[in-house]
Amino acid sequence: MPTRPLRIVKRTPIARAVCEACNMEFHSQQRIEDDAEKEMRQLFDSHECAGDEVMHRIEDSGEN
């Protein structure tokens, strides 16, 4: 399975992260940063990434 990078964009007051493979955004309103990051990572891990196929092709071609 290809690795999809998650970039944390903003932590407070509304935490925001972006999947760097498909640009899907994830939000959390948890006040504690660790809880917000955990929630966004769970959302990220469960999303159907449109970039998975592209990332897989890049890894197979040896680019990076």
What's the pLDDT tens digit per position in 49-60? 876 665 555 556
CB atoms within 10 A of CB 12: 8
User: Pick the residue with more confidence: 61 or 48?
Assistant: 48
pLDDT of residue 33: 87
Domains of the chain: which residue ranges? 6-50
H/E element, 17: strand 15-19
User: Pick the residue with more confidence: 33 or 4?
Assistant: 33
- Say whether pLDDT at 25 is over 90: yes
The string over 16-53, giving b where at least 16 C-beta atoms fall within 10 Å of a residue's C-beta and e elsewhere, is: ebbbebbebebebeeeeeeebbebbeebbeeeebebbe
- Per-residue tokens: 15: 């935490």
